[in-house]
Amino acid sequence: MPKIGVIYNDVKPIACQIAAELQSSLMAKGYDVYLATGYTGILGYSYPDRPVCHSPIEQIAEPEFDRDMELAIVLGGDGTVLSACRQAAPHNIPLLTVNTGHLGFLTEIYLNQLDMAIAQVLEGDFQIEVRSMIEVNVIREGQKLWEALCLNEVVVHREPLTSMCHFEIKIGRHAPVDIAADGVIISTPTGSTAYSLSAGGPVVTPDVPVFQLAPICPHSLASRALVFSDKEPVTIYPATKNQMVMVGDGNAGCYILPDDEVQMVRSPYDAKFIRLQSPEFFRILREKLGWGLPHIAKPTSVELP
């Protein structure tokens, strides 16, 4: 029988309820339905006294989530979608994302559209939108310390109560650059509307094959966001004696010591989103972030007597 997955935010009662209802209704239609929580895709932390603490990229998902699965339905907010992408991308599983959260920038539909959307998808009436991901590895003394897939960004930043840090960054064949800042962000086009946007980086449409480097609170007027080809590997060397922190997709991460290397490349695995109509990125920017809204006309002046 064909397989469908349901990935849901088990902290939200409505997501748990809808997940159970979906399992029953889809099984009645002849599908094998497997449930997983967003927690399954949580990356985990690495600690100085327990440094190697990560799940290999291909082993994040539950065993039933494999290349035989036709699609997975995601119930949650953007955090659940990010977790679902880490579970689904290595197995080429497309995701129908349903917003049970707040902003829902990465979600396709709302709960009141779910029945209609599932009927449309089961009839094969949909498109697939592909989003690039970052593969990040932390290397210490030649050993892989931590690895993950990230849809939005990788951030290396100073710890609280420490001073500003220096980062030596090598992009492809180009000469290394030194940036003095509180941290640096390497983002995908999808991540350009997340942390990178708050740090002053530009918005990049999802179909552009680039990465973006955005310094966080840089100590130089010359340190600005940089957009470059995602065919270029990126390595960050902490050029400071302070311990730092590396975080993937705002989820979890790894302590970074002065001699560590944070290596990033475009992942061979892409996130795949089910779209019920042609993707229209500017519409999402307008609806979710207010970009490009028409200016409200100023009131006409009133001539006083």
How many CB atoms within 10 Å of residue 29?
12
How many CB atoms within 10 Å of residue 117?
18
Assigned domain for 138 exists: yes
Please give the pLDDT value at position 46.
59
| C-alpha span between 177 and 169 (Å, rounded) | 5
Residue 142 shares a structural domain with residue 114: no
User: Are the beta carbons of 219 and 180 closer than 8 angstroms?
Assistant: yes
Per-residue model confidence as pLDDT tens digits over 180-239 = 999 999 999 999 999 999 999 999 999 999 999 999 999 888 889 999 999 999 999 998
Please give the pLDDT value at position 50.
57
| C-alpha span between 246 and 143 (Å, rounded) | 17
Per-residue model confidence as pLDDT tens digits over 55-89 = 788 888 899 999 999 999 999 999 999 999 999 99
Residue 12 shares a structural domain with residue 69: yes
Report the CATH number at residue 139. 2.60.200.30
Assigned domain for 216 exists: yes
Please give the pLDDT value at position 252.
77
**The residue to which tokens 């931590």 are assigned:** 146
272 pairs with which residues across the strands?
Answer: 130
pLDDT tier for residue 44 given thresholds of 50, 70 and 90 = low
Asked if residue 298 has pLDDT above 70, the reply is: no
Assigned domain for 299 exists: no
Domain boundaries, position 178: 134-266
Please give the pLDDT value at position 42.
72
Residue 16 shares a structural domain with residue 83: yes
Assigned domain for 258 exists: yes
* C-alpha distances out from residue 267 to 48, 131, 195, 230, 271, Å: 27, 11, 20, 10, 10
Q: Is 70 helix (H, G, I), strand (E, B) or coil?
A: strand
pLDDT tier for residue 102 given thresholds of 50, 70 and 90 = confident
Q: Is 44 left (phi over 0), alpha (psi -120 to 50) or beta?
A: left
Binding residues for NAD(+): 78-79, 152-153, 182, 193-198, 251
Assigned domain for 303 exists: no
Please give the pLDDT value at position 157.
93
Residue 117 shares a structural domain with residue 178: no
Residue 39 shares a structural domain with residue 128: yes
Domain count, the chain: 2
Spell out the residues 6+ positions from residue 27 whose beta carbon is closer than 8 angstroms to its own.
Answer: 33
Binding residues: 78-79, 152-153, 182, 193-198, 251
Residue 30 shares a structural domain with residue 17: yes
Residue 128 shares a structural domain with residue 277: yes
| C-alpha span between 243 and 155 (Å, rounded) | 14
Report the CATH number at residue 46. 3.40.50.10330
Per-residue model confidence as pLDDT tens digits over 155-181 = 999 887 678 899 999 999 999 999 999
| C-alpha span between 108 and 230 (Å, rounded) | 26
158 pairs with which residues across the strands?
Answer: 244
Please give the pLDDT value at position 227.
97
User: Are the beta carbons of 101 and 78 closer than 8 angstroms?
Assistant: yes
For residues 130-151, give the mean pLDDT: 92
Please give the pLDDT value at position 94.
98
Assigned domain for 302 exists: no
Assigned domain for 156 exists: yes
Residue 72 shares a structural domain with residue 142: no
Assigned domain for 295 exists: no
Residue 115 shares a structural domain with residue 139: no
Asked whether the whole model's pTM tops 0.85, one would answer yes
| C-alpha span between 99 and 77 (Å, rounded) | 5
Degrees (nearest 5) of the Cα angle 197, 223, 209? 50
How many CB atoms within 10 Å of residue 258?
12
Residue 232 shares a structural domain with residue 259: yes
Residue 97 shares a structural domain with residue 202: no
Return the half-sphere exposure (C-beta side, CA atoms, 13 A cut-off) of residue 290.
1
Q: Which of 49-53, 138-142, 202-206 has the highest mean pLDDT?
A: 202-206
Asked if residue 288 has pLDDT above 90, the reply is: no
Top pLDDT among 222 and 110 is at 110
Catalytic amino acids?
Answer: 78
Residue 126 shares a structural domain with residue 138: no
Please give the pLDDT value at position 207.
95
Nearest Cα residue to 95 out of 9, 31, 6: 6
**The residue to which tokens 């991540």 are assigned:** 191
pLDDT tier for residue 41 given thresholds of 50, 70 and 90 = confident
